[in-house]
Amino acid sequence: MMNEDFPTLVSSAIQKLQQKSSRDSLGNFRINPFDYNESNPLYHDECNNKKEETLLDYLRVGFGEFGSVFVIVFLSCMGCTAGLSEETASALQKCITGGLSVMAAIQIFGHISGAHANPSVTLSAYLMNVIDAKKAVLYVVCQIFGGLTGYAVLLYLTPKVYIQSPTHCVTSPNPNISLQQAFLVEVVITFILCIAINAAWDERCMKQLDSFSLRIGLIVTACALAAGPYTGASMNPARSLAPAMWQKNYESLQIYIFGPLLGGALSGLFYRHILLEKD
């Protein structure tokens, strides 16, 4: 009897390990809940055993998103500060600093909240059913405050003579392109960024997540190098909002709010309905 039950016990243990690996820190599906077949007993078992969310869980992931955008805004805007070492910060320096700051944020906070660090990514995650509406709102609010705090700390640490310009770290389109063109550039590059992140939520990609922070950082760098001359390559409403609010420079801000959000929404819908393999 014991020998006959051994394969069943092993199979059950493997199933439970698979279930654990598919849940995030709040007990939700880490990957595509809509890809599960309700007739599969694993689906019901995972739903029935979902971890109860506590206030500490929400505080933890909220801090993860706050910290992620803090790191991105603080480091990337510090990289835009000229005068301390050179008269101007080069475009290459800005692009590399931006990409590496994203890499740092994901490396530090990725296991805490997923380090969306971007309202566009959070919107894409919501449309992919990776997180629910309540957590999506929490993420976005914490991201915005993280960006505002990151820029405030930079203002405090930097002599005013080097940072008092109303355009410091404020994303703005190239005057040689139209606002419509700038808007579409932000849509496209944010779509590219988010579709790469969407792939990480796909079960088929679970074995290819080594050096994930480096990969996303390099994608951000590539988009910044390519699209920087067009729009500054924000791809992140929280990153653009913080310096705009502190510098009271809201010119063209709508491009950097709605363009990336549309790109994130399109990527989530496209991946869910077109690229995702369903049973």
The hierarchical CATH code for the domain 54-275 is: 1.20.1080.10
What integer pLDDT is reported at residue 116 of this predicted model? 97
Mean residue pLDDT of the chain comes to 84
Residue 88 CB-half CA count within 13 A: 3
SS3 of 161-209: the string is HHHCCCCCCCCCCCCCCCHHHHHHHHHHHHHHHHHHHHHHCCHHHHHHC
- Tell me the whole-structure pTM to 2 decimals: 0.81
Task: Give the span between the Cα atoms of 115 and 144, in whole angstroms.
Answer: 13
pLDDT digits (tens, 9 = 90+) for 153-184: 999 999 888 887 888 899 999 999 999 999 99
Q: Which of 36-40, 50-54, 212-216 has the lowest mean pLDDT?
A: 36-40
Q: What value, to the nearest 5°, has the Cα angle with vertex 151 and ends 135 and 134?
A: 5
What integer pLDDT is reported at residue 14 of this predicted model? 44
Per-domain residue ranges of the chain? 54-275
